[in-house]
Amino acid sequence: MGWLLSLSSAVVAAIAGCALAFYIGEKCVTWYRISSFEGGSGYAVIFMSLGGLIAGFLVGLTVAKSFGTSFLHGTGLALAAVAAVSGVVYVLARMGGDVPPEISGDSLHLQVEMRMAPGWQPSHLARAGQNYCQLAALDGNQRRRPRHGTVDFEKAIQQDGRWIVPCQVPIHSTHSPLVVSLYLGNKSNLEFVSPLPSQPTAANEQWAPWSSTGFAQTQAPGYEYRVRVQRDDVVRAERQAAETAEYENRQRDFAALNDASPLKSWLPFANSYNSDDISGRAQRYLATRLPEFEALLSDPDPAIVIGALKVLLYQQTFPATLTPAIIASGRAVLPLIEKAKQAKDPEDPDKLTEKQAREFVEIWKSVAEKTNAPTDKVKTEIGVAAAYAKQGDMQDLAMAMR
């Protein structure tokens, strides 16, 4: 076949090679979990597409020139060769990567419930949410591209005196064995081999029986787990249903309020991070009752005090009669500081309480500044109380009081 016809066939093969390489490249982004940071995954697909374009042209030209007898014959052979090479590349890339399993075309999440040993109690860091779970396929002694998941400790429950902690992680590989790691604060690290098959079926969407086998730690007596898979569309539907139920409950509870309701019962709605109609209505209502805030600012519950301060934070003006109560309300953080002090282990600080104390003081300072009244005495008391800390939020709080 002549050069002109061979080149024409090569151009067609190059276009096919580019398209096939683009398809393989998109798959590799998932299989090899190529990050999209600064366009990394996009560049990877583009470079693979350019490689497919060049390879398709060279393969097409060689095959068409060597074996083609006409344009159609040469082009057909060139396309077949490009498809064959692409098929080999696809298979090798798939074998080397982590291919997520599916059920009916839907990706899957692994859900785990870990039943802790009798007597186990969560550390301060665990309660503060410094937890995660991880799923990794073992390749000899190496872990292949582990995938991180979430531990929703707010949904942990106690049953028969034992904690049950849930976690969820996307299943990113059909390689086996898959190792599940659960990290709770800095005190509890548990690992076990998932009993699920590498290609889960619909039957695996039901909870497996509780098991105490397969733990990597031989020193994990009393711990048990159970697992199941859930389809991505089910997970998203459940999340949406939970958000809808939460909002409907909020609407119902807000609708039940009236002028006779305790003033403090309005605060959670005004302080919600949801910038919706309910928040605005609660704020506007409380703005009409600011003279009554003195009682809220002297409440023994720091949560009530900070709720009142948050409302005042968004007010342009408020009665001058509130100034003494606003200044004195800074002392409501002292019980929080005292509670944080109770965490004696420097490796397990009460970060949840420390964060609450720091947030309290930041809001109190902002509101107090609007009064133009002296706050040095209260600041000194707070700074002295928080001076025990060597690092973290409490140390930052103490330094801010200087």
Q: For the residues of 348-380, what is the DSSP string, one character each? A: S--HHHHHHHHHHHHHHHHHHHTTT---HHHHH
Q: What are phi and psi of 343, to 5 degrees?
A: -80, 100
Banded model confidence at residue 392, pLDDT cuts 50, 70, 90: confident
For residue 218, what pLDDT is reported?
62
Q: What are phi and psi of 3, to 5 degrees?
A: -65, -40
For residue 131, what pLDDT is reported?
94
Averaged pLDDT for residues 54-72? 75
Long-range own/partner contacts, residues 268-275 (CB < 8 A, 24 or more apart): 268/307, 270/307, 270/310, 270/311, 271/307, 271/310, 271/311, 274/247, 274/250
**Distance in angstroms (rounded) separating the CA atoms of residues 63 and 82:** 10
CA atoms within 13 A of residue 318's CA, in its CB half-sphere: 29
Q: Is the pLDDT of residue 224 over 80?
A: yes
**Percent of the chain whose predicted confidence (pLDDT) is above 90:** 51
For residue 359, what pLDDT is reported?
93
For residue 188, what pLDDT is reported?
83
For residue 46, what pLDDT is reported?
84
Say if CB 294 and CB 327 are below 8 A apart: no
For residue 138, what pLDDT is reported?
78
> What predicted TM-score, i.e. pTM, was given to this entire model?
0.77
Show the beta-strand stretches assigned E in 243-358: none
For residue 391, what pLDDT is reported?
83
Q: Say which residue, 63 or 362, is predicted with more confidence.
A: 362
Q: How buried is 396 (Cβ within 10 angstroms: 0-12 exposed, 13-18 middle, 19+ buried)?
A: middle
Cis-peptide into 262, omega within 30 deg: no
**Distance in angstroms (rounded) separating the CA atoms of residues 396 and 387:** 10
Rg of the chain on CA atoms, in Å: 31
Buried/exposed 325-357: b ≥16 CB within 10 Å, e otherwise: bbbbbbbbbbebbebbeebeeeebbbbbbbbbb
**Distance in angstroms (rounded) separating the CA atoms of residues 272 and 310:** 10
Q: SS3 for 262? A: coil
**Distance in angstroms (rounded) separating the CA atoms of residues 224 and 147:** 22
Nearest to 180 by CA among 170, 195, 169, 191: 191
C-alpha dihedral (52, 58, 59, 64), degrees to nearest 10: 140
Q: Is the pLDDT of residue 48 over 90?
A: no
Residues 6 or more apart from 390 whose CB is under 8 A from it? 346
For residue 352, what pLDDT is reported?
92
Q: Say which residue, 45 or 298, is predicted with more confidence.
A: 298
For residue 282, what pLDDT is reported?
92
Say if CB 56 and CB 82 are below 8 A apart: yes
Q: Is the dihedral of CA 248, 253, 259, 262 positive or negative?
A: negative
**Distance in angstroms (rounded) separating the CA atoms of residues 255 and 235:** 30
Residues 6 or more apart from 219 whose CB is under 8 A from it? none
Say if CB 61 and CB 6 are below 8 A apart: yes
Find the helix or strand (DSSP H, E) in which 269 lies. Answer: helix 267-270
For residue 309, what pLDDT is reported?
95
Banded model confidence at residue 323, pLDDT cuts 50, 70, 90: very high
For residue 309, give both structure tokens: 């301060």
Averaged pLDDT for residues 116-136? 92
